[in-house]
A and B are shown apart, each in its own frame.
Chain A
Amino acid sequence: MIPVILSECLDALSESASEVAATVLGGVAFEALSQSSSYGSAHGAYLGLVADDEPIQVGVLVDPAGCQLLAKALLGMEPGDEDLEPSDVSDAMCEIVNIVAGGLKRRVSERRRITLGLPIFVAGHPLPNQQQEVSARALKLGEVTVTLLVLTQKPHSIPVSRSGVTTHTAGEGPAKEKSA
């Protein structure tokens, strides 16, 4: 079962993505697909935010060809135009996640206090650790399949050590540092 905040964020992100499709992406078709558990091969633009006091990461995940298509749509180019430089794709994907997250903020601002962080584009798939709860939803923007991802800390989870390795679990004895 998806916790309320994850579900609320995914709904707001999905509505926001629909708005992005209709406006700055030039009116490309929007289609909501299903709950998604697969985001394996995608690149992604991510933005950290704090909802009330809870840190959340949202992401817009797309395969590399899809990133090109979305970036071109954002910049008013045709799909067959010459491919953009990676830095331009990164910039465009960051802007897309920025706008989508801004839409989330507007939609939930009456219920939750949201502070947006900085966007970043990452080439490669995410590897959440065992303390993190991930929820994803697939949709189509034009011909591009997009996965919206929301990542939160699991309730009652123990922070990981600086090495990125969990040092102990609830109910165990004193923390024992492991090497990475």
Chain B
Amino acid sequence: MSKKILVVDDSKAMRLIVRRTLRQAGFGEYEVEEAANGLEALERIGQGAPALVISDWNMPEMNGLELLKELKARKVQVRFGFVTTEGTPDMRALADEAGALFLIAKPFTPEQFESALRPLLS
């Protein structure tokens, strides 16, 4: 399995927070790459699929849901989950339907990362 995690978020601050939370949750051995939107993420994934994509939902250029759908359409095999403010039941259902493996609502804790990601990365 690749030892890379791709963090996709248009906020530099949030990318830093996700990096920090990954470390605090015990995933410090993974190399973290960043993309600022779905298009950038597609380009990075095209250069080699990471072990996991952690994506925001609302982003310019290409949002997280569009990114996930595009990856499915291209038949790219990659684990994918959302970290987003959009944590309502409706959004969770949409994410689930599109094939997301988890949706962590902001604000989050390292414990939430640990319980959502450990089963996927072990």
**Residue of A23, A71, A92, A99 touching B85 (CB-CB under 8 A):** A99
Closest approach, in angstroms, between the C-beta of B7 and any C-beta of chain A?
14
Closest approach, in angstroms, between the C-beta of A100 and any C-beta of chain B?
9
Q: Measured between alpha carbons, how far is A102 from B17 in the docked complex, in Å?
A: 17
**Residue of A23, A74, A95 touching B108 (CB-CB under 8 A):** A23
Q: Measured between alpha carbons, how far is A137 from B29 in the docked complex, in Å?
A: 43
Secondary structure call for the A interface: helix
- Specify which chain A residues have a CB less than 8 angstroms from the CB of B77 in the assembled complex: none
Interface residues of B toward A: which range? 20 to 34
Q: Kindly state whether residue B70 has any CB partner on chain A within 8 Å.
A: no
Q: Are A109 and B88 interface neighbours, CB within 8 A?
A: yes
Known contacts A23-B108, A24-B106, A106-B105: does B86 contact A95 (CB below 8 Å)? Answer: no
Q: Kindly state whether residue B73 has any CB partner on chain A within 8 Å.
A: no
Closest approach, in angstroms, between the C-beta of A151 and any C-beta of chain B?
20
- Specify which chain A residues have a CB less than 8 angstroms from the CB of B1 in the assembled complex: none
Tell which of A23, A71, A95, A105 has the most Cβ of chain B within 10 Å: A95
Q: Are A105 and B85 interface neighbours, CB within 8 A?
A: yes
**Residue of A75, A105, A109 touching B13 (CB-CB under 8 A):** A75
Q: Kindly state whether residue B2 has any CB partner on chain A within 8 Å.
A: no
Q: Are B88 and A105 interface neighbours, CB within 8 A?
A: yes
Binding site for A on B (CB under 8 A): 11-14, 16-17, 20, 58, 84-90, 105-109
**Could you list 20 A-B pairs, sorted by A, with CB under 8 Å?**
A19-B107, A23-B108, A24-B106, A75-B13, A76-B16, A88-B12, A88-B13, A91-B11, A91-B13, A92-B13, A94-B11, A95-B13, A102-B84, A105-B85, A106-B87, A106-B88, A106-B105, A109-B88, A116-B58, A116-B85
